[in-house]
Amino acid sequence: MTERFSLQHLDTCEPEVFCAALADIWEHAPWVARKVVHQRPFTSIEALHRAMVTAVAALDEAERVALYAGHPDLAGEAARRGTMTASSVDEQSTLDLGHLDLQEASRWDELNRAYRTRFGFPFILCIRRHTRASALHAFLRRLENDRGTELNHALDEIAAITRMRLDRLISEPTEPSTSVPVQPSTLESPP
């Protein structure tokens, strides 16, 4: 994401332009932007993000798992080959996860397999908020959770990832914001 857009532009442009500009915010899920385009104008990046997270949280479990499945494994084969989306490459490169030694790569691969086997979707973590050690700690800790807890954790982590992506893509006026940042775990999630 190199081109930045103003929130005002996104609020007033053609729906196709809005959807194209936000297509990569959600990993392999450009439909999220299409779900919220009719809600414009948005008063802030927080309001836009809240609408997007609400749309995803409203999905049934199978649809959410399908969305989660579009995310790459942390430090997985795709990271080592560099075949992820540009945003994921950028994010995982903050911890140099694409350049692990053989022993480290094997450990991450083992954890990724264990997580997918246990929960049916990839381990998702907002890597920009972690060190390599804290990411591994979170991985081990979350492997102990039940599926429902992990479905919610995954949404919370994706919400953090997408918010950071929006912040890098959209510029807002410099007026102080009075809105409260979205707390995804407080959203009602499907049963």
Q: pLDDT tens, 68-93?
A: 998 887 766 766 666 656 776 666 66
190, part of any domain: no
Question: Does some domain include residue 164?
Answer: yes
pLDDT, position 132: 86
As a whole number, mean pLDDT of residues 26-35 equals 95
**Whether residues 145 and 162 fall in one domain:** no
pLDDT, average across residues 23-50: 96
Say how far apart CA 108 and CA 127 lie, in whole Å.
14
What is the C-alpha R_g of the chain? 17
Give residue 77's pLDDT.
73
Return d(Cα 168, Cα 189) in angstroms, integer. 27
pLDDT at 30: 95
Residue 184 lies in a domain: no
Q: Is the pLDDT of residue 182 over 50?
A: no
Q: Does one domain contain both 130 and 103?
A: yes
Active-site residues: which are they?
71
The verdict on 129 and 148 lying in the same domain is yes
Domain count within the chain? 2
Q: What is the pLDDT of residue 179?
A: 43
In a domain, 52, yes or no: yes
Tokens of 147: 């599926």
Do 105 and 137 fall into the same domain? yes
Distance CA 52, CA 162 (A): 9
pLDDT at residue 13 is higher than 50: yes
Once rounded to an integer, what is the mean pLDDT over residues 170-183?
A: 56
Over residues 158-183, the mean pLDDT reads: 74
d(CA 92, CA 75): 7
Q: Is the pLDDT of residue 187 over 80?
A: no
Model confidence pLDDT, tens digit, residues 93-136: 666 766 778 898 889 899 999 999 999 999 999 988 988 889 99
Q: What is the pLDDT of residue 105?
A: 83
pLDDT band at 173 (very low <50, low <70, confident <90, very high): low
Q: Tell me, what CATH number does 79's domain have?
A: 1.10.3330.10
Q: Domain of residue 163: give its range.
A: 5-66+158-174
For the chain, give the mean pLDDT.
Answer: 85
188 in any annotated domain: no
pTM of the model: 0.81
Q: Do 44 and 89 lie in a common domain?
A: no
Find all residues with CB under 8 Å of 132, minimum gap 6, and list them.
95, 96, 97
- Report the percentage of the chain scoring pLDDT > 90: 63
Is residue 14 one of the residues assigned to a domain? yes
In a domain, 189, yes or no: no
